[in-house]
Chains A and B, each alone.
Chain A
Amino acid sequence: MTIRVVLRFAIAFIVTAAMAQTPVNADLDARLKRLEAELRCLVCQNQTLADSNAPLAEDLRREVRELANTGKTDAEIKQYLVARYGDFVLYNPPLQRNTWLLWTGPFVLLAGGAAIWYAIVRRRKRGDDDNDDEPPGSGMPPDEAVARARQLIYEEP
């Protein structure tokens, strides 16, 4: 009977101790998880450090965890890895001199496409151009166009 009571207390103690422990580790784990999802595994290249099972990814996760434990900030940890592996370890390429085209390129193309589209629409509306795509006579006043069509259809050349 007493053994049971002692056991019950022991279990209760262990459970509360474990529960008291988790918040701290859970914070760190969540932080590491988020950080690892922003870092690339160099071996598999299209996987994040968090997703990869490559031995190097394991080593780098260990390294990241240790750096975090010594109080390094996320930015410092990233800097540590960039110094060794280059910007490629970052899943989000930083905005800097050699990447501005990468970041702005799609928007430039979008703006260019919009400009072309706008120009075409405007020209179509005005209808005053040498556009081959438009049907013949589309620039004429309606009466004239009808007359011309009649002429083309009914009169011998």
Chain B
Amino acid sequence: MKTWRLIVPLAVFAILLGFLWVGLSLDPREVPSPLIGKPAPSFSLATLHEPAKSLTSDDMKGQVWLLNVWASWCVSCRSEHPLLMQLAKANVVPVVGLDYKDKPDEGRAWLKENGDPYRVSIVDRDGRVGIDFGVYGVPETFVVDKQGVIRYKQIGPVTAESLERKILPLVRDLQKS
């Protein structure tokens, strides 16, 4: 009886501690996307550099690609930009830029100033395609496989760590299959 009195509160405390410990490592800003493992939403948007041309989701089928959601007004996009430039230089995987809720001339000016890491950039003027992709915090980056299925979503800027540990290994894996 006496040992029970000691063990039960300790056990309850340990369980509580476990929950709190896990809770500490969770970021409430990262809402898991229901789109992972689902086909990327279809879109057809005008490209940033040649507004007469457009890119559709089908154009990217058959290859692994990244969709990077950015905007000229987005502050934290600047922090991931050098990494995207490196990625473009290494030519590992094509990156499509989705210029989200941005004025096209401001988007173009931003790329001119900071460098253009994108295979192609498309303009989502009213944010509709962004909503289809469940975008809520720019920048966001999606990994899409050869079949057009979303395999990973990075919320917030791409970091050297997330690139090395998650995105690039996944891309290599998907390219092999």
Q: Which residues of A line the B interface, CB within 8 A?
A: 42-43, 45, 55-56, 59-60, 63, 82-88, 129-130
Contacts of B130 in A (CB 8 A): 59
How many of B's residues come within 8 Å of A, CB to CB?
A: 20
Any A CB within 8 A of the CB of B23: no
| Contact with B131, one of A43, A60, A82, A88 (Cβ below 8 angstroms) | A60
| Contact with A59, one of B31, B131, B133, B137 (Cβ below 8 angstroms) | B131
Number of A-B contacts (CB under 8 A): 42
Proximity bits, B18-52, A CB within 8 Å = 1, else 0: 00000000001101111100000000000000000
A59-B126, A59-B127 known; A84 vs B34 contact (CB < 8 Å): yes
CA distance A85 to B130 in the complex (A): 11
Closest residue of B by beta carbon distance from A40: B31
Determine chain B's interface SS by DSSP, over half rule. loop
Interface centre among B28, B133, B136 (most CB of A within 10 A): B136
A56-B127, A59-B127 known; A84 vs B133 contact (CB < 8 Å): yes
Decide if A42 touches B101 in the complex (CB within 8 Å): no
Any A CB within 8 A of the CB of B132: yes
CB distance from B163 to the nearest CB of A (A): 24
Decide if B32 touches A45 in the complex (CB within 8 Å): no
In the A-B complex, the 3 residue pairs with the closest CB atoms:
A42-B136, A84-B134, A86-B34
Closest residue of B by beta carbon distance from A80: B131
Any A CB within 8 A of the CB of B1: yes
Interface centre among B1, B29, B31, B128 (most CB of A within 10 A): B31
| Contact with A86, one of B1, B31, B127, B133 (Cβ below 8 angstroms) | B31
Decide if B137 touches A43 in the complex (CB within 8 Å): yes
CA distance A88 to B137 in the complex (A): 15
A59-B126, A130-B1 known; A86 vs B33 contact (CB < 8 Å): yes
Decide if B136 touches A43 in the complex (CB within 8 Å): yes
